[in-house]
Amino acid sequence: MRLFFISRIIFALFLFVSLPVFAQTNPAQPIKVSILHVNDVYQFMPVDGGTRGGLGRLLTLKKQIKAENPYTIFTLGGDTVSPSVETRTYRGAQMIDAWNAVGIDYAVLGNHEFDIKTPELLQRIKESQFQWLGANVIDSKTNKIFADTPPFAIKDFDGVKVGFIGLLLPETKETSSMEASLNITSFCETAKQIVPKMRAAGANAVVGLTHLFMFQDKELAKCADFDLILGGHEHTLLQSSSNGTPIFKMTADARELGRFNLNFDRQTKRLESIDWEIIPVTDKTPEAPEFAAVFDKYKDLLMKLSEPVGMSGVVLDALSLSSRTKETNVGNYIADAYRNAAKADVALVNGGSIRADLTYNPGVLTKRDVLSILPFNNPIVKVEISGKTLRQVLEHGVARSAEDNEPGRFPQISGMSFKYDLSKPAGNRVTEILVGGKPLNEKKNYTLATSDFLVSRGGDGYVMFKDAKVLLKADTAPKDSEVLEQSIRNAPNKTISPKTENRIVRIK
């Protein structure tokens, strides 16, 4: 039976300062393996006005920690190749260059790795100087793990072996552009099959490197013999445990760096305890000089993205958690822009397509800001659907709101309003719908503007659009960011001040 003594959580409030090098050869001391972890990192530049994140700062912290403990591993919890402003031009190559410069060891495939085309992703994996993992991503053409990545990896430190298995969430096909020949198998069944093989191969500790929802990570911990699960996907600092296994996720875009020290008995190689700390990545940490080469390579695009588009007179809420759980002023503005551009009765924006994960203070809005909010470059199409289907659309939008706290399907809307009750079962939560201020007529047809990702691909599970009559097709439709940018430029004095208007009301 495993014995865990999970010691204190340290929230570092200042720049991490290296301690004297740990005496890894001292027979009286345990062997300490440090794992550094981040997840959902879409930009190599600092975020939040330059105050947080930045891969140049991560490299500085990594160098400091590795100087203290050479037995250090760096992991990434998925979602980095896409989406971002730069990926529209460089197809994720900029992030691979950045991670190669940082020098990470393992990365799990995230759902948004599959936003780009499969040949492009295979090229990015080939360019990576680190190991990608995704044991439950299967290519049906070969019946092998995607990209011939290994089912697991084991790192040896002075006889201590730490094993890593990568697992991806089953909803990937709903939330990305993954091609039909790729399948996501059960993360639980995959772990049941592979983790015993890792133990048989000598792994003294097994780490799940995951891109799952937290409730799925908790299920995973019950499926196999894990010592630690380091995840991603929620974009939120989360800490939990299940079946005696600690589970951690960092906030998106490297706003924090998780450090996890695994302490092994020097003689038996048995894992005795785990210590951890959450290190804020701030502008108090200098950027590593050698990272400047990455900035220089992409500086021309970075300069173009600084072009002003307009102004905001209010704080704009483009946080992922907000966009996926409640009505927001940014969501309202984007939905209005879609509806106006398509001349539709109503509009719907899936909250997961709003990607900036920032709040914007009043002031100048640049091209980068616009593209960061809507980076996918999706056409905005116009369809005709019945009132009955529109009700199904809204029911689907709130169907998972009680199951997890950040469902990408959550709707931001225009031209309509609705109320919903989370105490009721999914599919029967919407209690009132008004279209143009009048009660929804389920027998009447309405025109709706939305992303082609939802209409032609059933993205985020919106399969009810598959039989919709398409009035404005994707090949002639404007792209999402173009619609948003033009709306800002056309605003009086190029200044927007969107607000929430009780378009979406949660009753319970």
Q: Tell which of 297, 327, 355 closes a domain.
A: 297
DSSP code per residue over 86-130: THHHHTTHHHHHHHHHHT--EEEPPGGGGGS-HHHHHHHHHH-SS
Which residues, 6 or more positions from 345, have their beta carbon under 8 angstroms from its beta carbon? Answer: 339, 415, 435, 436, 446, 447, 448
Domain co-membership, 328 together with 477: yes
Q: What is the pLDDT of residues 45-102, one digit of tens each?
A: 998 889 999 999 999 999 999 999 999 999 999 999 999 989 999 999 999 999 999 9
CATH number for the domain that contains residue 183: 3.60.21.10
Domain co-membership, 229 together with 311: no
In a domain, 474, yes or no: yes
Domain co-membership, 347 together with 286: no
Domain co-membership, 276 together with 324: no
Q: Which residues of the chain have pLDDT under 70?
A: 1-25, 401-406
Q: Tell which of 251, 269, 297 closes a domain.
A: 297
- Three-state DSSP at 365 gives strand
Length of the chain: 508
In a domain, 244, yes or no: yes
In a domain, 277, yes or no: yes
In a domain, 21, yes or no: no
In a domain, 472, yes or no: yes
In a domain, 1, yes or no: no
Domain co-membership, 290 together with 312: no
Q: What was the pLDDT predicted at 403?
A: 52
Q: Tell which of 240, 268, 297 closes a domain.
A: 297
| Bridge partners (DSSP) listed for residue 164 | 153, 207
Domain co-membership, 337 together with 261: no
Q: Which domain holds residue 489?
A: 307-506
Q: What is the pLDDT of residues 381-400, one digit of tens each?
A: 999 999 999 999 999 999 98
Domain co-membership, 287 together with 383: no
Does the pTM exceed 0.95? Answer: no
Domain co-membership, 352 together with 426: yes
How far apart (Å, rounded) are the C-alpha atoms in residues 80 and 106?
13
How many C-beta neighbours within 10 Å does residue 31 have? 23
Domain co-membership, 251 together with 345: no
Q: What was the pLDDT predicted at 406?
A: 66
User: Looking at the 3D structure of the chain, how many domains does it have?
Assistant: 2
For residues 42 and 355, the answer to whether their CB atoms sit within 8 Å is yes
Domain co-membership, 257 together with 335: no
In a domain, 23, yes or no: no
CATH number for the domain that contains residue 318: 3.90.780.10
Domain co-membership, 284 together with 337: no
Domain co-membership, 164 together with 287: yes
506 φ, ψ (degrees, to nearest 5): -90, 125
The DSSP output letter for 6 is: E
Question: Measured on CA atoms in the order 135, 139, 142, 148, is the torsion positive or negative?
Answer: negative
CA-based nearest residue to 396, from 424, 368, 430, 444? 430
In a domain, 18, yes or no: no
How far apart (Å, rounded) are the C-alpha atoms in residues 119 and 100?
20
**H/E/C letters for each residue in 274-290?**
EEEEEEECECCCCCCHH
User: 55-68 and 93-102 are packed helices; what angle lies between their axes, rounded to 10 degrees?
Assistant: 20
